[in-house]
Structure 1
Amino acid sequence: MRIAVAGGSGKLGRTVVRELRAGGDDVVSLDVVGERGPGFVRVDLTDFGQTLDAILGVDDRHTGFDAIVHLATIPAPGILSDVATFHNNIRATYNVFQAARRAGIRNIVYASSETVLGLPFDVPPPYIPVDEDYAARPESTYSLVKHLEEQMAIELVRWDPSLKIVALRFSNVMDPSDYAEFPSFDDDARARKWNLWGYIDARDGAQAVKRALDWDATGFDRFIIAAADTVMTRPNAELVAEVFPGVPLKGELGVNDTLLSIDKARRLLGYAPAHSWRD
């Protein structure tokens, strides 16, 4: 496919671009930063005119796309002011979705976030492992935008039943170079309780993107995307008993299995995480 990756210079975006190209796709990164070359176009995605023009075609670069992967975002709370985070992220996402629709692109995959599940879980989750079945619980401006983006996607596919928008609720993205720190997490069960001790290897994040692009479907759906295990060596039963006593259990916890359920992504997308910090 000819694929635009909005935010292709970010931590996850770099890996997604690399892995899609390795699989034979023709990929162009659209971002405000990046190295000049045939696979990169500098675009301010908060500007609709630039976004639409870049998606429709750029001289000497491309003449349009078959699919859009939208990863461009202020990636977490607290990096900018709340209002700057809100304005940047909601505007960029609307612009990418709307430009794709205007360009006749029916295949959109984008980065939602684990934060919509209720992170940092100062209010305990309704059950563990968490999944996509309960209503969003945004607890920050960043998370609120992610929830609103999902609601926007729901309405856009209602307007256009031929459209597919897949929201991937990525866990905390990690590169292999980040794994040296993981053994220290065992010292304090609460240090990483904010996302139920979850993470996602960027390479598995790229796999999820590709599987979502290839998924033969229309409409909107959302998937939690995490590694198959936690960041801890301590067993799940011990962690949950210490940090979330009294929270109902929904199924087996496993010893170190992810508590961000990826069962839906496995079942519908064929997602199969292949990388672990334990390796």
Structure 2
Amino acid sequence: MRIAVTGGSGKLGRHVVRRLAEDGHHILNLDRVGERNEVQVFVDLSNYGQVLDVFLGLDDRHSGFDAVVHLGAIPAPGIVPDAATFENNMLSTYNVFQAARRAGIKRLVYASSETVLGLPFDVDPPYIPVNEEYPARPESTYSLVKHLEEQMARELVRWDPELSIIALRFSNVMDVQDYAAFPSFDTDAMARKWNLWGYIDGRDGAQAVARALENGRAGFEAFIIANADTVMRRSSADLAAEVFPKVEVRKKLGEHETMLSIDKATRLLGYVPEHSWRNHQPDRTTHIEN
């Protein structure tokens, strides 16, 4: 397919661009930052005219797209003032969705967020593992925008029954170099309780995008995207019992099983994580020289 990726220069975006190109798709990265090259176009997503124009065609580059992957956004709360987060992220997503519709693009995959589940869980989650079945609980302006984007997507597919919009509720994105810090998390169970000790390897995040493009159907769906394990060496059952003693645990948890349920993504998209931080730890074997 011919695919536009917004925010393809970001932490997750770089993995997505690489994965989709390796899968044989023709990719154009639409971003305000990055290096000038044959797959990069500098676009201000908050400017509707620019977004629509590049979706319709671009001299010497392309004459249209089959799909859009929308990752471009201020990526977390607290980076800029709340009003700036709301204005940039909400407007950019509206522009991307609306311009895609005007350009006749029917397949959209975009980055929602685990934050809509109720992070940082200062109020207990309704049950563990959390899933997509309970109403959104945004606790920040950033999360509020993610919730409103999902609501907007639901209305757009109602207007256009042929449109497919998939929201991927990504967990905290990690690169391999981030894994060196993971063993230190074991000293304090509360340090990462804010997202139930979850994470997503950037390569597995890219896999989820690829699966969504391949297997998405008309309409709207939201999926939690996390890795299969937690960031902790301690067992998931012990963590849940210590930090959330009053919360119902609805299934027997595997030793390090994620508490951000990926069952729906596995069932409907074929998403199965392939990476774990546990495979990237330094060898601690003591070698004794004779």
Give the distance between the partners of 2:232 and 2:204, measured in 1 at CA.
19
Give the distance between the partners of 1:226 and 1:68, measured in 2 at CA.
22
Q: Which residue of 1 aligns with 2:255?
A: 255
1:108 equivalent to 2:115? Answer no
Q: Which residue of 2 aligns with 1:192?
A: 192
Task: Name the SS for the 2:278 alignment partner.
Answer: coil
Structure 1's unaligned 5+ residue stretches are none
Task: Report the alpha carbon displacement of residue 53 of structure 1 after superposing the two structures with TM.
Answer: 0.5
Q: Residue type matched to 1:269 in 2?
A: L
Normalising by the residue count of structure 1, what TM-score does the alignment of the two structures yield? 0.99
Give the distance between the partners of 2:214 and 2:252, measured in 1 at CA.
30
Q: Which residue of 1 aligns with 2:245?
A: 245
Q: Which residue of 2 aligns with 1:166?
A: 166
1:219 equivalent to 2:219? Answer yes
Task: Report the alpha carbon displacement of residue 216 of structure 1 after superposing the two structures with TM.
Answer: 4.6
Q: Which residue of 1 aligns with 2:86?
A: 86
CA RMSD of aligned residues (A): 0.6
Q: Which residue of 2 aligns with 1:276?
A: 276
1:23 equivalent to 2:29? Answer no
Task: Name the SS for the 1:4 alignment partner.
Answer: strand
Deviates more, 1:141-150 or 1:34-43: 34-43
Q: Which has the larger radius of gyration?
A: 2
Total equivalences in the alignment = 279
Give the distance between the partners of 2:236 and 2:7, measured in 1 at CA.
34
Structure 2's unaligned 5+ residue stretches are 280-290
Per-residue Cα deviation, 1:67-123 (whole angstroms, up to 9, x for no partner): 000000100010010000000000000000000000000000000000000000000
Per-residue Cα deviation, 1:135-166 (whole angstroms, up to 9, x for no partner): 00000000000000000000000000000000
User: 1:34 and 1:220, CA in 2 relative to 1: closer, same or farther beyond 3 A?
Assistant: same
Give the distance between the partners of 2:237 and 2:252, measured in 1 at CA.
10
Give the distance between the partners of 2:77 and 2:246, measured in 1 at CA.
29
Deviates more, 1:153-162 or 1:238-247: 238-247
Q: Which residue of 2 aligns with 1:7?
A: 7
Task: Report the alpha carbon displacement of residue 59 of structure 1 after superposing the two structures with TM.
Answer: 0.7
Task: Report the alpha carbon displacement of residue 34 of structure 1 after superposing the two structures with TM.
Answer: 1.3
1:201 equivalent to 2:201? Answer yes
Task: Name the SS for the 1:54 alignment partner.
Answer: helix
Identity of aligned residues (%): 71
Is the 2:216–2:269 contact (alpha carbons within 8 Å) kept by the matching residues of 1? no
Give the distance between the partners of 2:82 and 2:216, measured in 1 at CA.
37
Normalising by the residue count of structure 2, what TM-score does the alignment of the two structures yield? 0.95
Give the distance between the partners of 2:72 and 2:4, measured in 1 at CA.
11
1:44 equivalent to 2:44? Answer yes
Runs of 4+ in 1 over 3 A off after TM superposition: none
Q: Which residue of 2 aligns with 1:210?
A: 210
Give the distance between the partners of 1:76 and 1:130, measured in 2 at CA.
21
Task: Name the SS for the 1:155 alignment partner.
Answer: helix
1:179 equivalent to 2:179? Answer yes
